[in-house]
Chains A and B, each alone.
Chain A
């Protein structure tokens, strides 16, 4: 019983001492005289300029900046960390706002410059070639051996390409002309030219081209493309020739 009373007295005493000490603190005791506060550090400044500010796509512009009271400068996007003054050439591919962030003891400053990039108009999407152009590029004569109307391997290739063209351009109708070289007789060559036009047409039909899209005429040896008497010219004349009908 006595112990408990003693503890109570110690606690009370501690508490009084604490309050006293605290109160001591709050006692308006004349502090020692404080030194005058140091001057606040100057705030940084930053300027950023783009010259020129409007460019065509692909051209360059020069960014120039200046700053004061900055210890750290960042130029974004682009060079990143830069000196307090300087310039840099940039070639943005689209309009960009460049920002200079200057940091110093006095704080931060920002400057920005907008570069407007005028892109050329986008190229038009490639137009679908006209039927006439495609015909001129893709449809070729089919050539034959002397006195024959058989479809040779090389003629197969050109006629297959012609069939592809005709499939793609489904409205096109053609005239097949059969031709011969000068060596045979006029009359018989009218027949042979007709056989050649027919052979080419039959081959195209076998590749699925409708027969009513193809007219035929035989010119025999009446419309040669050349007149020399040598095998080179004769071969050029032994042909099935295509004409696109309007």
Chain B
């Protein structure tokens, strides 16, 4: 009990210690539990398949579970080659001593079995603390679903999230989140959605023109995005507008054309409003509008392009945005009513794509300093201290935070053409998520 508590406190302390880290001189910083706190060593042996018909499901479940835990950045997975030969499938079969001692050296063990019961796939899973001689299960779970590979994946995601939540002291897992992005593999740019691990990539819009800048609504039910559209069915006049799409009803939701070139919608934290940019008066300004398109009100009054708004997700009282009012595009901050505009970035080069961390304390952005490539940076809003996350690897843009505040997904040309990549917020743990066509503009869903 004490161990669990101290672990949770350590995790919280680590998260709180982040601003302290930023004040140090080093270019790199580490987030989450990576600061002077021992990561939990977690052993995850294969789950036993109770019958032949669940063999495949068990394999898929196991592979996805390990992958999710590996990607979490919260635990250190024990290599299978260091695991004892005897694999428990029930708490009674767990020999805590064998798992605690070298070479395994595990703190916790996640184990269980997969069976077919009452016409359903059933996963019985436990998480036990082997530093305690009794090795009491910290978690005891049952997950049910259809006997399909897809369901086996989902059950694994659920168990992974439950483990992460327990081991990180309450910070949510991201294994069941999704990423919206822009993909061109269908022949033109449309909005796509995939699981956070890159699985299940599927096309959402079928407009046949160009769709850009997708944004999840806070309740995960809708996507707002920038779309080129014809002024009318028979018109050759094309214009740029904001569209809404319901993932529940699988179709577009009515949203009025606001005039000019209207772009880059961003949901308010309560999901009631959208901030966006429109040149309806001849010059690009930031506006706020209700989610049904009514009650349009203007926030900025400055010559030049004001675009790409982003709400503080915790308070909803501030909006970051991009403006070239000083000459080149830079990141600015203002109150949600347009008052108190101030510049956040230094003014050097070209800074765009502001993305608030879920705790409202940091803004990730893409910055092209003079004569260099676009790289991702994170700024602590209170101190304005900035840390560089990507170095010398292609052109990196459009960062978006995971709901756990520990991961970022972004677009990068480091593999040759634009693809979506994921990494931990300290720049480690890079993995490529898309491979087909050109893929850009990711946005991470809420949980």
- For residue A218, which residues in chain B have a CB less than 8 angstroms away from its CB? 240, 261, 279
Min CB distance B205 to A, Å, is: 15
* Among A184, A193, A194, A218: residue with most chain B CB under 10 A: A194
In the complex, the answer to whether A191 meets B284 with C-beta atoms within 8 Å is yes
A109 at the interface (CB under 8 A from B): no
In the complex, the answer to whether A188 meets B324 with C-beta atoms within 8 Å is yes
CB-contacts of B64-109 with A (<8 A): none
Min CB distance B237 to A, Å, is: 5
CB-contacts of A182-210 with B (<8 A): 184-188, 190-195, 198
A154 at the interface (CB under 8 A from B): no
In the complex, the answer to whether A186 meets B239 with C-beta atoms within 8 Å is no
**Whole-angstrom CA separation of A164 from B260 in the bound complex:** 26
Min CB distance B286 to A, Å, is: 11
In the complex, the answer to whether A188 meets B352 with C-beta atoms within 8 Å is yes
Q: Which 7 A-B pairs have the closest CB atoms?
A: A191-B305, A194-B261, A185-B352, A191-B284, A218-B261, A191-B307, A215-B237
Question: Which chain A residue lies CB-closest to B260?
Answer: A194
B311 at the interface (CB under 8 A from A): no
A243 at the interface (CB under 8 A from B): yes
- For residue B210, which residues in chain A have a CB less than 8 angstroms away from its CB? 219, 222
Scan B304-342; emit 1 where CB is below 8 A from any A CB, else 0. 111110000000000000101000110000000000000
B189 at the interface (CB under 8 A from A): yes
Residue numbers of A with Cβ under 8 A of B are 147, 175, 184-188, 190-195, 198, 215-219, 222, 243, 245-246
In the complex, the answer to whether A187 meets B236 with C-beta atoms within 8 Å is no
- For residue B154, which residues in chain A have a CB less than 8 angstroms away from its CB? none
Contact among A188, A193, A215, A222 for B322, CB-based, below 8 A: A188
Contact among B238, B308, B350 for A187, CB-based, below 8 A: B308
B419 at the interface (CB under 8 A from A): no
In the complex, the answer to whether B240 meets A190 with C-beta atoms within 8 Å is yes
**Interface of chain B: mostly helix, strand, loop or mixed:** strand
- For residue A192, which residues in chain B have a CB less than 8 angstroms away from its CB? 305
Can you sample 18 A-B contacts with CB below 8 Å?
A184-B352, A185-B366, A187-B213, A187-B226, A187-B353, A188-B324, A190-B226, A190-B263, A191-B261, A191-B284, A195-B284, A215-B231, A216-B260, A217-B237, A217-B261, A222-B189, A222-B228, A243-B236
Known: A186-B212, A191-B284. A217 touches B240 (CB 8 A): yes
**Whole-angstrom CA separation of A193 from B307 in the bound complex:** 13
In the complex, the answer to whether A245 meets B284 with C-beta atoms within 8 Å is no
**Whole-angstrom CA separation of A190 from B263 in the bound complex:** 8
Question: Which chain A residue lies CB-closest to B418?
Answer: A186
- For residue B236, which residues in chain A have a CB less than 8 angstroms away from its CB? 175, 243, 245-246
B264 at the interface (CB under 8 A from A): yes
Question: Which chain A residue lies CB-closest to B352?
Answer: A185
In the complex, the answer to whether A245 meets B237 with C-beta atoms within 8 Å is yes
- For residue B328, which residues in chain A have a CB less than 8 angstroms away from its CB? 147
- For residue A188, which residues in chain B have a CB less than 8 angstroms away from its CB? 305, 307-308, 322, 324, 329, 352
Residue numbers of B with Cβ under 8 A of A are 189, 210, 212-213, 226, 228, 231, 236-240, 260-261, 263-264, 277, 279, 282-284, 304-308, 322, 324, 328-329, 350, 352-353, 366, 374, 397-398, 440-441
Question: Which chain A residue lies CB-closest to B411?
Answer: A186
Min CB distance A151 to B, Å, is: 16
**Whole-angstrom CA separation of A46 from B157 in the bound complex:** 121
In the complex, the answer to whether B353 meets A185 with C-beta atoms within 8 Å is yes
- For residue A190, which residues in chain B have a CB less than 8 angstroms away from its CB? 212, 226, 240, 261, 263-264, 307
- For residue A186, which residues in chain B have a CB less than 8 angstroms away from its CB? 212-213, 397-398, 440-441
**Whole-angstrom CA separation of A187 from B411 in the bound complex:** 14
Min CB distance B180 to A, Å, is: 15
**Whole-angstrom CA separation of A246 from B260 in the bound complex:** 21
**Whole-angstrom CA separation of A1 from B307 in the bound complex:** 153
**Whole-angstrom CA separation of A110 from B52 in the bound complex:** 127
- For residue A246, which residues in chain B have a CB less than 8 angstroms away from its CB? 236
- For residue B283, which residues in chain A have a CB less than 8 angstroms away from its CB? 195, 198
Contact among B226, B228, B397 for A185, CB-based, below 8 A: B397
**Whole-angstrom CA separation of A217 from B226 in the bound complex:** 13
Known: A185-B366, A192-B305. A175 touches B238 (CB 8 A): yes
- For residue B228, which residues in chain A have a CB less than 8 angstroms away from its CB? 217, 219, 222
**Whole-angstrom CA separation of A175 from B261 in the bound complex:** 14
**Whole-angstrom CA separation of A222 from B366 in the bound complex:** 19
Contact among A185, A216, A217, A219 for B329, CB-based, below 8 A: A185
**Whole-angstrom CA separation of A218 from B307 in the bound complex:** 14
Question: Which chain B residue lies CB-closest to A198?
Answer: B282
**Whole-angstrom CA separation of A218 from B263 in the bound complex:** 10
Min CB distance B441 to A, Å, is: 7
- For residue A195, which residues in chain B have a CB less than 8 angstroms away from its CB? 283-284, 304-305
In the complex, the answer to whether A187 meets B263 with C-beta atoms within 8 Å is yes
Question: Which chain B residue lies CB-closest to A186?
Answer: B212
In the complex, the answer to whether B307 meets A217 with C-beta atoms within 8 Å is no
Known: A187-B353, A191-B277. A217 touches B238 (CB 8 A): yes
- For residue A243, which residues in chain B have a CB less than 8 angstroms away from its CB? 236
**Whole-angstrom CA separation of A191 from B239 in the bound complex:** 13
**Whole-angstrom CA separation of A24 from B231 in the bound complex:** 129
**Whole-angstrom CA separation of A191 from B189 in the bound complex:** 19
**Whole-angstrom CA separation of A193 from B228 in the bound complex:** 14
In the complex, the answer to whether B263 meets A191 with C-beta atoms within 8 Å is yes
- For residue A222, which residues in chain B have a CB less than 8 angstroms away from its CB? 189, 210, 212, 228
Known contacts A184-B350, A187-B308, A216-B260; 19 additional CB pairs below 8 A are A185-B374, A185-B397, A186-B213, A186-B397, A186-B441, A187-B353, A188-B329, A190-B226, A190-B240, A191-B284, A191-B307, A194-B261, A195-B283, A195-B305, A198-B279, A215-B239, A217-B240, A243-B236, A246-B236
Min CB distance B240 to A, Å, is: 6
**Whole-angstrom CA separation of A186 from B226 in the bound complex:** 11
Contact among B189, B213, B279, B324 for A194, CB-based, below 8 A: B279
**Whole-angstrom CA separation of A159 from B261 in the bound complex:** 22
